[in-house]
Amino acid sequence: MTNIGIVGSSAASRTPELVNKLKLLLGKYNANTTTVVSGGGKGLDLIAASVAREDSFEVKEFKPTAYNWDAFKERNLQIAAACEHVYSFVFPVNTHGKPNCYHCAKAGKDSNHEKSAGCYTGMHCKGGYTVIVI
């Protein structure tokens, strides 16, 4: 089985455009041999898990044990360790007033999008990560 992480902004809403991006991504994988790993949080995590289940993918969720950065960080590192690749869905710069993504800047990637813990997760995945702007 291949594990792919699909993580991102908690501010994401289920829109036709977002669902289409998720379905295009999932279309690159076989539901019989791929598990979608999620953070179990609101926004993108829940939307990705829902779309993956609709497309017959197995979904594994790592939910935080508390609602603080230490618990989120632990959960994000668990996702990174469990996956061969992580996809971080993020918003363009200034959508929610967050700074450019310093996680991607630190990883040597294009940081011209809002900071996201999804990118933090991705930069810790040994198989690498891909940023998808929504």
Can you list the domains of the chain with their CATH numbers?
2-26+33-98+128-133 (3.40.50.450)
Q: How many residues does the chain have?
A: 134
pLDDT tens-digit series, residues 52-90? 999 999 999 999 999 899 999 999 999 999 999 999 999
Provide the pLDDT for residue 49. 98
Higher pLDDT, 98 or 61: 61
pLDDT at 96 over 80: no
Whole-model pTM: value is: 0.95
What CA–CA distances, in Å, run from 55 to 10, 69, 86, 90, 131?
A: 22, 32, 19, 22, 22
Provide the pLDDT for residue 98. 82
For the chain, percent of residues with pLDDT exceeding 90: 87
Residue whose C-alpha is closest to residue 6's, from 97, 110, 28: 28
* Mean pLDDT, residues 83-105: 91
The terminus-to-terminus CA distance of the chain in angstroms comes to 28
Distance between CA atoms of 123 and 104, rounded to whole angstroms?
7
CA-derived radius of gyration, the chain: 14
